Structure 1
Amino acid sequence: MSSTTSNVKYHASRAAESKPLEYLARGGFIGYGIIHLLFAWIAFQVAFAGSGQDSDQSGALQELAGHSYGKTLLVIIAIGLGAMAIWQAFEAVIGESGPRNRTAMAERVLSGARALLYTYLGWTAVKVVQGSNASMGDNNASMTAGAMDSTGGRWLVGLIGLVVLGIGIGMAYYGFKRKFVKHLNTGEMPANSRESIIKLGMAGYMSKGAAYAIAGLLVVVAAVNYDPEKARGLDAALKTLAGYSWGVWVLALIGAGIACFGVYCIAQAKYRKI
């Protein structure tokens, strides 16, 4: 390892150990949990009331903004998500790597992906506060339409759909095999609630994985049929389910699982290893 790389990792490690960053990141988990609880509530509304609201994280942020205290809370959530993004970026830099440690390398890649996700959600929260269009579904559809108009664009969109499908399957497997438990300080959990928290995480990851897998499949369908509206991400996935009599109940189960994930995120604020 070069001296420059070692120096970067040293300073990143020192920064990652910052107590203020830890406290902000833990607060971010609470905000992330609130987003998913609102996301679940919107999923139930789509399932049983035919709501046309964006049924994804951006819809949850817009729901929150509609309350008198909403914009203040959104600013707090955005700060927490920013701290989570910085923390995960540091994890991506300082994690162990090497040809004999593929698991550690995979964790660094996942940390980088989480950093991008938290950054995007934080940026979306800021846009909602500013009153500008922050619909993830509209943005996804617009970008898909633009990509399809370029040479080879439909192939690219189809490939992205397959990647999202794979992410969804991987997320469900991650939850089913309880791989997230290694990131928790389980020894600090009360014995009578430890298993309940883990089961909330399992239900949450598996439900989110199912939603992402359906979203990815719809993106592939959008590429095949040249229909950008099918590529609205989670919003299209959940509303497509709501269009079938059997799908309403599947959507309700996914909504319940997403609510479980929201509660799990709030538990992570205390028990996550940071």
Structure 2
Amino acid sequence: MPHISRRPVETMARFGYGARGVVYGLVGGLALLAAIGSGGQTGGSRNALQTLLTQPFGKVWLVLIALGLFGFCAWRILEALTDADNRGSDMKGWAIRGAHLVSGFIYAGLALFALNLALGRSSGGGGEDQAARDWTAWLMSQPFGQWLVGLVGLAVAGTGLAFIVKAWRGRVADRLSLPAEKRHWICTIGRMGFAARGVVFLMIGGFVGLAALHASSSEVRGLGGAMEALQRQPYGWVLLALTALGLFAFGLFGLIQARYRRIDAPDLDDAKAAVAQMGR
């Protein structure tokens, strides 16, 4: 298959990493402003996109972000189904690929939210916290619902721990093709980003675990709720500022991934076959 058949998938993936980076940069920047008392907010991704709507050319930016997030969703799904990143078929490989598959659908939801917001079809609803409570309540109503919610909480918290370990070990640039002179500062940015993201995931997983323990979906918090909880702690503004800086750093790292990540994209025939197999 000619190399050109890989190019659309690679372009889609790079556009997706960039869009995700922009979203995290917005979340981190707004939270940092809230921490230092200069306006801003501690909301999650949806709140950040709503804020962007009020800016000049806000609808244009939202459409571009939505397209990028749809691309990221498609890349995550293809990556998981075709093992484009060579994660392998052992337990760890399947766990990573499964997590990427789930994240693909999550970003598809965020992309739809951004697109509807740009087209004036959505006022934002109850935000991420309410959306998290809604799906928790639905899952809780299923057979063995409390156990299922508890497993989700463990999975989210485990992902957070994995991010923290990755930041601690400094293995954030393993899949980047970096110039030697840029490697040190890019790794520093990546470690800050993964550490902050890990802390937030740990907190979200903890809230989901409490919801399972108390059989109450009202315990659940999303990204914005986790940062609000940080802000309410002693010296909360410091904790929030540090976390916000880390999330902003992860946003910058997303833009770096868009430029330097190694993407061994499947060709279009392989991608179509993977999607067709998923639909069976």
Q: With structure 2 as the length reference, what TM-score do the two structures score?
A: 0.80
Equivalents in 1 of 2:137, 2:38: separation in Å?
A: 26
Equivalents in 1 of 2:5, 2:164: separation in Å?
A: 31
Question: 1:121 aligned to 2:121?
Answer: no
Q: With structure 1 as the length reference, what TM-score do the two structures score?
A: 0.81
Residue identity opposite 1:164 in structure 2? V
**Cα offsets for 1:154-206 (capped at 9, x unmatched):** 333233222211111112212322333221112xx2x3321111111111011
Aligned length: 258
Question: 1:33 aligned to 2:29?
Answer: no
Contact kept, 8 Å, 2:76 with 2:103, in 1: the verdict is yes
Equivalents in 1 of 2:141, 2:98: separation in Å?
A: 31
Greater fraction of residues in helix: 1
Contact kept, 8 Å, 1:140 with 1:231, in 2: the verdict is yes
Residue identity opposite 2:132 in structure 1? N
Contact kept, 8 Å, 1:39 with 1:258, in 2: the verdict is yes
Equivalents in 2 of 1:243, 1:108: separation in Å?
A: 36
**Cα offsets for 1:231-251 (capped at 9, x unmatched):** 022222111111122232112
Question: 1:169 aligned to 2:173?
Answer: no
Select the residue among 173, 181, 198 that pairs with 1:192.
181
Structure 2 match to 1:93: 81
**Cα offsets for 1:127-175 (capped at 9, x unmatched):** 3223243522111122333444566433332332222111111122123
Unmatched 5+ stretches in structure 2: 264-280
**Cα offsets for 1:80-130 (capped at 9, x unmatched):** 12122222322222225766x555545533442442333232122223223
| Change over 3 Å in CA distance of 1:17–1:146 after alignment to 2 | same
Deviation at 1:261, TM superposition (A): 0.7
Residue identity opposite 1:139 in structure 2? A
Equivalents in 2 of 1:223, 1:111: separation in Å?
A: 24
Structure 1 match to 2:275: none
| Change over 3 Å in CA distance of 1:15–1:212 after alignment to 2 | farther
Select the residue among 175, 183, 186 that pairs with 1:183.
175
Structure 2 match to 1:5: none
Secondary structure of residue in 1 paired with 2:51:
helix
Residue identity opposite 1:154 in structure 2? Q
Deviation at 1:66, TM superposition (A): 1.7
Structure 1 match to 2:268: none
Contact kept, 8 Å, 2:140 with 2:146, in 1: the verdict is yes
Residue identity opposite 1:61 in structure 2? L
Residue identity opposite 1:181 in structure 2? A
Greater CA deviation, 69-78 or 217-226? 217-226
Contact kept, 8 Å, 1:46 with 1:55, in 2: the verdict is no
Residue identity opposite 2:149 in structure 1? V
Q: Which has the higher contact order (CA 8 A, sep 6+)?
A: 2
- Identity among equivalent positions (%) equals 29
Matches within 5 A, 1:7-22: 17-22=5-10
